[in-house]
């Protein structure tokens, strides 16, 4: 429990490292006590492959369906539930069976990634030993894994606290509160578009990592929640 919810992290140290401007200071104060989870890397990877362009409700539905169809039924304290499917189980599944869980086109990515990890006997935990950029490059070589999915997996399961995932909310934060620290042409382009190209993702991600440093992922979570709560 302590490890899973990062209860062993020193929040005072994180605050001292991140408190670079009034806006992040406000976010830290308002959400003091916020923690990052440390999910199992395999479960985290497959979950985020499924999460692309889906609502939280839809993601939950997909993952529950996969667990019921491919996981093992178990019980704890009188409650029955299903474990997350193993790599071997998903690698042996058919694309149609995965798609029937609501995955749609993601079924192909889940199947291909599962097969590769099983066939290569790849240990995702080994990515902890690599520098952030190298670990991200490896993850992006798996089917269905783009920059954002890779950053989320690195942050929420592999201990890379410098990872800075960027979505539409984080883009909004940076444009609203950090535009003066970004290239003018980048701000103009992002302000005129609702989408986020791979190049712009890279620019915003690099800004977050460089500006906030080793705890950029924590900054992302603080800023994300403040933006969501103030809309």
Dist. CA 44–CA 46, nearest whole Å = 6
Query: Is 60 noted as a catalytic residue in this protein?
Result: no
Count how many Cα atoms sit within 13 Å of the Cα of residue 166 in the half-sphere of its side chain: 23
**Burial class of 56 by CB neighbour count within 10 A (0 to 12, 13 to 18, 19+):** exposed
Radius of gyration of the chain measured on its C-alpha atoms: 19
Contact of 109 with 98, CB cutoff 8 Å: no
Question: What separation in angstroms does the CA of 132 have from each of 8, 52, 141, 162?
Answer: 21, 22, 15, 8
Q: Which of 148, 160, 181, 202 is catalytic?
A: 148
Dist. CA 143–CA 148, nearest whole Å = 13
Q: Which residues are catalytic?
A: 148
């Amino acid at each position: 429990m302590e490890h899973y919810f990062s209860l062993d992290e020193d929040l005072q140290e994180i605050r001292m490292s991140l408190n670079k401007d009034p806006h992040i200071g406000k976010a830290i104060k308002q959400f003091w006590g916020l923690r990052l989870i440390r999910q199992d890397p395999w479960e985290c990877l497959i979950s985020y492959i499924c999460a692309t362009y889906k609502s939280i409700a839809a993601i939950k539905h997909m993952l529950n369906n996969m667990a019921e169809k491919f996981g093992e039924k178990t019980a704890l304290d009188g409650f029955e539930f299903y474990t997350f499917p193993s790599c071997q189980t998903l690698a042996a599944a058919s694309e149609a069976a995965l798609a029937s869980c609501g995955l749609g086109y993601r079924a192909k990515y889940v199947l291909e990634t599962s097969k590769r990890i099983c066939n290569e006997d790849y240990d995702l935990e080994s990515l902890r030993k690599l520098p952030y950029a190298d670990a991200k490059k490896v993850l992006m070589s798996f089917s269905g894994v783009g920059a954002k999915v890779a950053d989320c997996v690195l942050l929420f399961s592999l201990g890379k606290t410098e990872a800075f995932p960027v979505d539409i909310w984080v883009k909004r934060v940076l444009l609203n509160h950090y535009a003066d620290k970004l290239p003018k042409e980048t701000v103009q382009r992002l302000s005129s578009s609702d989408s986020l190209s791979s190049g712009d993702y890279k620019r915003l991600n690099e800004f977050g990592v460089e500006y906030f440093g080793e705890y950029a992922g924590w900054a992302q979570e603080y800023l994300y929640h403040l933006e969501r709560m103030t809309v």
